[in-house]
């Protein structure tokens, strides 16, 4: 129970009816959870407007309604009107849980690519430097020994504050989290200030009817982070960085390959051993050391630079940074799996044309004898994605194995037809194998010396969704079974 006045601190509001001299028993934004003494925040969602439930929650005993539209309710109900109820929910939630972010250092990462990998790198480095770090991201939330599968990259503000509170109570002194453009647009990260805001890169993505209207809107939303943090650590090589920082209110530090960066990489050397792909390079500027990253590609260099930039600000030592960069691996993000002494295999989450093109282009630099790409596309999603991914793989891979991903409520063969339409625009060789295990087995059993096999699209996922049911399917398990059957 908390005083309503305390929960409304920091907000501009109008008391439409009732009074604010009362206590609140719970904060809810789901009308089904409303109860006696609740404060109910009326959220306008894609499929449901919480304002339509105002009378219902009042009848359940809710004592306070926070609204952005006019509502009519009976009884002793306090109605508080604000400009934006999502914004208000963030501040109310922070107050409800005792402003947990103020007890920890909060690091927020935004960008089109690299967020997940870099959050894990930062967590690993800081833990080696003696910090206790909570993580919130696309794959999972980590609190101590507890791993909670993620539903959204960045949770709704109430859930986020609840998670912060649990991390605080668990003894975490630092939180590293992914911050999506949708979360920034929908005010999920309001109610506190980030100690560090981090920008990895930006490319056109998440543009559509239910996301961002255009690239400018996407860029603008990413840039909101730098009006809500104390220090901004940004990729100085990204062509959009100046536009992103327009109107920023934070101190800015840059990482990159150019000489104007505060921390930069040089003398890059590819590490190419069957089953082990990586990059060696030198970091100079705010820190000065030779490092090796256990994942391939130029984007791995940027991820490492980004993590090193953040962690040196925490005073992390050279040994902690070098050790974590070499040994930290993220499930399903350029994850090498040893299958042979003659060729390499990598699992990655690349599930759209942009990500697949970046991945295959980076792996091509390792000069494999053949670059073999195994992938499918999700059902009940854009057909354009299938055409584009087929065309990208046809152009950049030497051989493509079209297979099934999460068909959902579509037929796998129909999805594969669409992919094939794209690949036929190229001269790339391919084969169709609907069963994903059989497709992976084909790639492994026909692997040649010097090959590099990429399993794209599933990444960290450990299931396959078919007609509304999620069946267990982890590519690492499939590989182990294939190798066992082959022995």
What is the reported pLDDT for 112?
A: 85
For the cut 60, the answer to whether the pLDDT of residue 208 exceeds it is no
Instruction: Please give the backbone phi and psi of residue 86, each rounded to the nearest 5 degrees, phi first.
Output: -65, -40
Q: Can you tell me which residue has the tokens 């759209």?
A: 352
- Structural tokens at position 422: 């794209």
For the cut 60, the answer to whether the pLDDT of residue 398 exceeds it is yes
73 in the same domain as 215: no
369 in the same domain as 271: no
92 in the same domain as 7: yes
In whole numbers, what is the pLDDT of the chain averaged over residues?
Answer: 94
Q: What is the mean pLDDT of residues 476-485?
A: 96
Instruction: Please give the backbone phi and psi of residue 180, each rounded to the nearest 5 degrees, phi first.
Output: -80, 160
Report the share of the chain in percent with pLDDT over 90: 87
423 in the same domain as 320: no
- With 0-12 / 13-18 / 19 or more C-beta atoms within 10 angstroms meaning exposed / middle / buried, residue 56 is middle
380 in the same domain as 482: yes
Q: Can you tell me which residue has the tokens 């930290």?
A: 328
Radius of gyration of the chain, Cα coordinates, nearest whole angstrom: 24
- Among candidates 190, 266, 194, 199, which has minimal Cα distance to 230? 194
For the cut 70, the answer to whether the pLDDT of residue 168 exceeds it is yes
The secondary structure of the chain, three-state, reads CEEHHHHCCCCCCEEEECCCCCEECEEECCHHHCCCCEEEECCECCCCEHHHHHHHHHHCCCCEEEECCCCCCCCCCEEEECCCHHHHHHHHHHHHCCCHHHHCEEEEEECCCCHHHHHHHHHHHHHHCCCCEEEECCCEEEECCEEEECCCCCCCHHHHHHHHHHHHHHCCCEEEEECCHHHHHCCCCCCCCEEEEEECCCCCCCECCCCECCHHHHHHHHHHHHHCEEEEEEECCCCCHHHHCCCCCCEEEEEECCCCCCEEEEEEEEEEECCEEEEEEEEEECCCEEEEECCCCHHHHHHHHHHHHHHHHCCCCHHHHHHHHHHCCCCCCCEECCCCCCCEEEEECCCCHHHHHHHHHHHHCCCCCCEEEEECCCCCCCHHHHHHHHHHHHHHCCEEEECCCCCECCCHHHHHHHHHHHHCCCCCEEEECCCHHHHHHHHHHCCCCCCEEEEECCCCCCEEEECCEEEECCHHHHHHHHHHHHC
Domain end (from 296, 327, 358):
327
Domain end (from 267, 297, 327):
327
Would you put residue 144 in left (φ > 0), alpha (ψ -120 to 50) or beta?
Answer: left
Residue numbers of the domain that contains 348: 335-486
For the cut 70, the answer to whether the pLDDT of residue 387 exceeds it is yes
Domain at 371, CATH number: 3.90.190.20
For the cut 70, the answer to whether the pLDDT of residue 407 exceeds it is yes
Number of domains within the chain? 3
Q: What is the mean pLDDT of residues 387-398?
A: 98
Domain end (from 274, 301, 327):
327
321 in the same domain as 211: yes
Domain at 32, CATH number: 3.40.1390.10
What is the reported pLDDT for 275?
A: 72
- Structural tokens at position 150: 């993620």
> What band does 42 get if pLDDT is binned at 50, 70 and 90?
very high
Q: What is the mean pLDDT of residues 81-89?
A: 98
Q: What is the mean pLDDT of residues 357-363?
A: 94
Q: Can you tell me which residue has the tokens 């003696």?
A: 130
Q: What is the pLDDT of residues 90-142, one digit of tens each?
A: 999 999 999 999 999 999 999 988 899 999 999 999 999 999 999 999 999 99
Q: Round to whole Å and give the CA distance between 182 and 258.
A: 31
Contact 59, 38 (CB under 8 A): no
Q: What is the pLDDT of residues 428-477, one digit of tens each?
A: 999 999 999 999 999 999 999 999 999 999 999 999 999 999 999 999 99
Q: What is the pLDDT of residues 181-204, one digit of tens each?
A: 989 999 999 999 999 999 999 886
238 in the same domain as 341: no
Q: Round to whole Å and give the CA distance between 181 and 158.
A: 18
219 in the same domain as 142: yes
Domain at 252, CATH number: 3.40.1190.10
Q: What is the mean pLDDT of residues 359-364?
A: 95
For the cut 60, the answer to whether the pLDDT of residue 240 exceeds it is yes
Strands 133-136 and 140-143: antiparallel
What is the reported pLDDT for 205?
A: 57
53 in the same domain as 14: yes
Contact 262, 285 (CB under 8 A): yes
Contact 118, 200 (CB under 8 A): yes
Q: What is the mean pLDDT of residues 316-332?
A: 91
CA distances from 485 to 444, 454, 473, 482 (A): 12, 21, 17, 5
268 in the same domain as 179: yes
The more confident residue out of 297 and 126 is 126
> What band does 286 get if pLDDT is binned at 50, 70 and 90?
confident
- Structural tokens at position 374: 């195994």
> What band does 211 get if pLDDT is binned at 50, 70 and 90?
low
What is the reported pLDDT for 229?
A: 98
Instruction: Name the maximum alpha-carbon separation found in the chain.
Output: 77
355 in the same domain as 480: yes
200 in the same domain as 120: yes
Question: How many other C-beta atoms can be found within 10 angstroms of the C-beta atom of residue 199?
Answer: 31
């Amino acid at each position: 129970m908390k005083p309503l006045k305390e929960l409304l601190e920091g907000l501009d509001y109008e008391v439409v009816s009732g009074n604010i001299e009362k206590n609140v028993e719970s904060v809810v934004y789901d009308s089904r959870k409303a109860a006696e003494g609740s404060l109910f925040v009326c959220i306008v969602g894609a499929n449901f407007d919480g304002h339509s439930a105002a009378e219902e929650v009042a009848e359940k005993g809710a004592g306070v309604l926070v609204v952005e539209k006019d509502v009519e309710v009976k009884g002793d109900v306090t109605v508080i009107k604000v400009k934006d109820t999502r914004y208000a929910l963030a501040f109310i939630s922070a107050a409800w849980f005792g402003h947990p972010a103020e007890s920890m250092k909060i690091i927020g990462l935004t960008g089109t690519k690299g967020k997940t990998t870099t959050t894990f790198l930062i967590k690993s480095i800081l833990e080696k430097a003696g910090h206790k770090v909570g993580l919130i991201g696309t794959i999972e939330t980590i609190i101590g020994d507890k791993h909670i599968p993620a539903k959204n990259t960045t949770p709704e503000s109430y859930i986020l504050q609840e998670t912060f509170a649990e991390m605080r109570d668990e003894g975490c002194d630092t939180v590293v989290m992914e911050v999506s453009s949708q979360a920034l647009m929908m005010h999920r990260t309001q109610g506190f200030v980030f100690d560090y805001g981090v920008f990895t890169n930006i490319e056109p993505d998440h543009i559509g009817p239910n996301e961002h209207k255009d690239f400018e809107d996407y860029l603008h939303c990413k840039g909101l982070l730098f009006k809500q943090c104390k220090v901004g650590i940004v990729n100085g090589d990204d062509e959009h960085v100046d536009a992103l920082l327009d109107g920023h209110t934070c101190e800015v530090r840059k990482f990159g390959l150019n000489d104007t960066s505060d921390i930069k990489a040089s003398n890059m050397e590819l590490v190419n051993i069957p089953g082990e792909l990586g990059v060696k390079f030198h970091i100079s500027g705010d820190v000065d050391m030779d490092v090796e990253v256990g994942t391939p590609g130029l984007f791995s260099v940027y991820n490492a630079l980004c993590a090193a930039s953040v962690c040196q600000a925490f005073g992390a030592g050279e040994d902690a940074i070098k050790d974590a960069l070499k040994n930290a691996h993220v499930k399903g993000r350029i994850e090498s799996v040893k299958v042979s002494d003659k060729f390499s295999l990598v699992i990655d989450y690349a599930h759209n044309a942009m990500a697949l093109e970046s991945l295959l282009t980076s792996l091509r630099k390792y000069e494999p004898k053949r670059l073999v790409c195994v992938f499918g596309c999700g059902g009940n999603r854009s057909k354009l994605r299938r055409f584009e991914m087929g065309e990208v793989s046809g152009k950049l891979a030497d051989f493509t194995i079209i297979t099934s991903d999460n068909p959902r409520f579509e037929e796998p063969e129909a999805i594969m037809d669409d992919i094939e339409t794209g690949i036929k625009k190229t001269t790339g060789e391919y084969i169709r194998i609907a069963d994903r295990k059989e497709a992976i087995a084909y790639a492994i059993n026909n692997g040649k010396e010097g090959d590099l096999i990429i399993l794209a699209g599933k990444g960290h996922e450990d299931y396959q969704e078919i007609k509304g049911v999620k069946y267990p399917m982890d590519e690492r398990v499939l590989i182990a079974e294939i190798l066992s059957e082959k022995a």
